[in-house]
């Protein structure tokens, strides 16, 4: 369980370094990915 949590935190941190000012969108995208769902990404 701890290993999974650390992995998700690392993915989130790394993604937030690349995708700036979109913390909520990154978290939702990662949650959708691990839940096996689909997401449409649109940026303005």
Asked whether residue 11 is assigned to any structural domain, the reply reads: yes
User: What total number of domains does the chain contain?
Assistant: 1
Whole-number pLDDT of residue 14: 97
Asked whether residue 40 is assigned to any structural domain, the reply reads: no
Whole-number pLDDT of residue 43: 79
pLDDT in tens, 1-44: 799 999 999 999 999 999 999 999 999 999 999 999 999 988 77
Whole-number pLDDT of residue 44: 77
Cβ contact 8:34 at 8 Å? yes
The pTM score is 0.79
Asked whether residue 41 is assigned to any structural domain, the reply reads: no
Whole-number pLDDT of residue 27: 95
Residue 13 CB coordination number (10 Å): 10
| Residue span of the structural domain in which 19 resides | 2-35
Asked whether residue 44 is assigned to any structural domain, the reply reads: no
């Amino acid at each position: 369980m701890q290993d999974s949590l650390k992995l998700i935190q690392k993915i989130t941190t790394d993604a937030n370094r690349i995708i700036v000012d979109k913390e909520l969108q990154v978290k939702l995208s990662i949650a959708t990915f691990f839940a096996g769902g689909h997401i449409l990404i649109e940026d303005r």
